[in-house]
Amino acid sequence: MPANTITRADLCEAIYEEIGLSRNDSAKLVESVLAEICDALVGGENVKISSFGSLMLRSKGERTGRNPKTGEAVPISPRRVLVFRPSNILKDRLNQPDASPAEPRPSRTSYSPG
């Protein structure tokens, strides 16, 4: 079964149903939450949402990469990247015995114990 994709519209609908604001206000507030998180990250702050996880900034130094098409070496400038560190609560929620199991991937080399 292919995974569904949840978008802003679904989050707005959840806020609308849960909080009882108008659809218009719900949409604005979802946007406002995301904007506040973005601003914090751009300003150099890590963002930690308890029971969900943290978005952590990592600074990467300059390195040499390659254009995969031409094989040409190109310098990759130093940059800031984001890493998501899920909380233990979220990790556990994804691996409960009753949660939908991880997709079996029979095409890959199957592991046989022992």
Which residues would be at the binding site for another protein (CB under 8 A)? 3-8, 10-11, 14-15, 18-19, 21, 29-30, 32-34, 36-38, 40-42, 45-53, 55, 57, 77, 79-84, 86, 90-91, 93-95, 99-100, 102-103, 105, 108, 111, 113
Nearer to another protein, 36 or 66 (CB): 36
CB of residue 70 vs another protein: minimum separation in angstroms? 18
| Dist. CA 80–CA 93, nearest whole Å | 29
CB of 13 to another protein, least distance (A): 9
Query: Least distance (Å) from another protein to the CB of residue 9?
Result: 11
Q: How far apart are CA 34 and CA 54, in angstroms?
A: 14
Give the separation between CA 84 and CA 11, rounded to whole angstroms.
Answer: 20
From the CB of 18, what's the least distance to another protein, in Å?
A: 5
Taking alpha carbons only, the member of 39, 30, 37 closest to residue 8 is 30
CA angle, residues 60, 64, 65, in degrees to nearest 5: 100
